[in-house]
Amino acid sequence: MIPINSTQSALEALDHEDAGVRYHGAWWLGKHRAFEAVPKLIDCLKDEREITSSGGYPLRRQAARSLGMIRDASCVHALLETLETDDVQLHEATLRALIEIKSDQCSSSLINYLDKDIHNKPIEALIEALASLRIWQVSEKIQPFLRSDSERVVSSAASFFFCCTGDKSYLDQVVALLNHENRFVRQSAAFDLARIGTLAAAKPILAANIPNNVKMYAIRAILSDSLLKSTKRENNQEARNEEVHDSLFTTLDELTRENFAGNLLISQEVQKSTNPEQPPSSTAELISNAFKRLGSPSLMEREQGIKLLVNSPESIKGDLHNLYFSESDQDIKMGLVKAMAKLKDRIYIPALIDAVGVEIGNHCQGNIRRVAACALGDIDWIQQADHQSLTITMDKLSWTLQYPDDWGLRYSACIALEGISDARARDLLIETSEQETDPVISRRINIAIARMSKNNDP
């Protein structure tokens, strides 16, 4: 596998003879929003070098997804042409890309696509695209999907009609699916509510049996929509919404700090033993027992594993950072980071900084970064004075706050800098506030600055 670590190397990878290299190159260009790659990615939409046994084109699909991440409207015509192919998975990738690009050039093509009789048409993504582009003239054609056998399609259709009409009964249909027995239906409903963006959906989402990272995504989307609309509301309505905003930011802080379970919902309970558990007879046994719990499919077991480490002898607590560096299992590494976050000792700084800096390969790693960043702000820097460690930490948080891809990581940096609350932290927040475009991050920065100023007042 050739190294892909720059726009140029990723562009060159698109011409590589190996299909995996080409695919990775397309992914890298989308992840890093390389605008100069748009023409080349458009070419990839017609690439026929690799085809699956079912007749699909993986590179084409990834090129469509990457164009959606880049969000350059110049590719819209080329994306719409892919709807003429026989690859319905490519159709879905294109529809989701068009949702991200939000171009007004799509209406007639999407209406024509809706009218076509296509086997396994990605109707859920199509309805979402029609709603995001406010193509309300197809309402009569969407009506039958409210009675679909697929709950996810029903949720998309109900979301479409709520956005179109404002009728709360449609919103209630989507909210009801948050209690569905199928976790994928519950999560899909949460994503639909995130796209709707109404504050009324926040409480049901937070009460739902869905993963924390899905809750984070949905609450952030709802907050973002509400903050962007705040200047258009009446003053009395805005005052009521500000109270809700404050509550949701508090909740978002908690989710950022405690985001343990990754993209999988962990709901299994610990089996209660009839025999009392014997205390471990050695350091090795205690660590083995803790690690076994950290790797359990039960959230309660994992929390017990963290508790074992936090309450362990000083010899073990003093070695948690070395255990972190020697471990490869992501669940165990997360548990170690959580334990170090609770102990708040500056000896863990190298491990926490390493955790913040890991490349995201999955949702669990993204969660590790956020928890570790928050932990850097929880260290008692006054009692544990260490100028060199603080400088290294501030340099890492400065990078973290301005990192463009992971909004949750940047959000966690706001929390950490508020925790450190020294002059450099305040200056960094003020500097970033002047260029931050994300409404949720921007508001969280202002909250941190206001709290720091209040705490420093004589």
Q: Buried (b) or exposed (e) across 225-248, using 16+ Cβ within 10 A?
A: bbbeeeeeeeeeeeeebeebbeeb
Residue 370, judged by CB atoms within 10 A of its CB (0-12, 13-18, 19+), counts as buried
Determine, yes or no, domain membership for 165.
no
pLDDT in tens, 280-333: 668 889 999 999 999 888 888 899 999 999 999 999 999 999 999 999 898 899
pLDDT in tens, 242-279: 889 999 999 999 999 876 544 444 444 444 443 445 56
Domain boundaries, position 97: 1-103
Determine, yes or no, domain membership for 206.
no
Determine, yes or no, domain membership for 166.
no
**What pLDDT shows up at residue 56?**
80
3-state secondary structure of 427: helix
* Cα 51 to Cα 375: distance, rounded to the nearest angstrom: 46
* Cα 455 to Cα 458: distance, rounded to the nearest angstrom: 8
Determine, yes or no, domain membership for 27.
yes
Q: What is the DSSP string of 295-345?
A: TSS-HHHHHHHHHHHHTS-HHHHTTHHHHHHH---HHHHHHHHHHHHHHT-
Among the residue ranges 10-14, 102-106, 296-300, 358-362, the one predicted with the least confidence is: 358-362
Residue whose tokens read 């090129």: 63
What is the rounded radius of gyration, in angstroms, for the C-alpha atoms of the chain?
24
Among the residue ranges 76-90, 177-191, 212-226, 389-403, the one predicted with the least confidence is: 389-403
Determine, yes or no, domain membership for 75.
yes
Q: Taking residues 151-171, report their average pLDDT.
A: 96
Query: Domains in the chain: how many in total?
Result: 2
- Grade residue 239 by pLDDT with cuts at 50, 70 and 90: low
Determine, yes or no, domain membership for 372.
yes
Name residue 295's amino acid: G
Last residue of a domain, one of 70, 103, 136: 103
Q: Taking residues 196-224, report their average pLDDT.
A: 93
Choose between 2 and 102: higher pLDDT. 102
Residue 1 pLDDT > 80? no
Determine, yes or no, domain membership for 122.
no
* Cα 373 to Cα 411: distance, rounded to the nearest angstrom: 9
Q: Buried (b) or exposed (e) across 402-441, using 16+ Cβ within 10 A?
A: eeeeebbbbbbbbbbbbbbbeeebbebbeebbeebebbbb
Last residue of a domain, one of 103, 120, 142: 103
Determine, yes or no, domain membership for 309.
yes
Q: Which two tokens stand for residue 227?
A: 């903050």
Closest to 383 in 3D by CA, of 343, 328, 346, 335: 346
What's the CATH code of the domain at 67? 1.25.10.10
* Cα 430 to Cα 297: distance, rounded to the nearest angstrom: 42
Q: Percent of the chain beyond pLDDT 90? A: 69
Q: Taking residues 367-390, report their average pLDDT.
A: 86
